[in-house]
Amino acid sequence: MLDNLIPLDINMYDNLKILGITQPEDIDHYTLRQEAHHDILKIYFRKDKDEHYAKSVKFKYPLQRKLVNLDNNLKEINEINLHLRDVKPNLSTRPNQP
């Protein structure tokens, strides 16, 4: 279980490399949506001139569930997954971003 942890001294774009994305400059755009109890991250890559459709990859992250005390009532809330939280800044600051 400990082998899934991401080290704190991780370099820029290493979170994308963990996902198998070795060339972040090839990313065209991404979408993030919620579906049931998951966040769905879809990353689209720039298409080559001879391609009709852009390549994409999809990642499914379970939402983090948390109990909070609001006026002496416990309420369950959902938060973004910790791994997705680490990946988002890499997507927003990638090289050659339009």
Q: Are 61 and 38 in contact (CB under 8 A)?
A: yes
- Whether residue 13 is contained in a domain is answered as no
* Burial of residue 38, with CB atoms counted within 10 A of its CB: 0-12 exposed, 13-18 middle, 19 or more buried: middle
Number of domains in the chain: 1
Distance CA 69, CA 97 (A): 41
Q: Which domain holds residue 87?
A: 26-98
Express each pLDDT in 69-86 by its tens digit: 888 888 888 888 888 888
Identify the helix (H) or strand (E) that includes residue 92: helix 82-92
- Whether residue 82 is contained in a domain is answered as yes
Express each pLDDT in 8-45 by its tens digit: 444 667 888 888 888 888 889 999 999 988 999 999 99
- Whether residue 4 is contained in a domain is answered as no
- Prediction pTM value: 0.71
Residue 67 main-chain phi, psi, to 5 deg: -95, 130
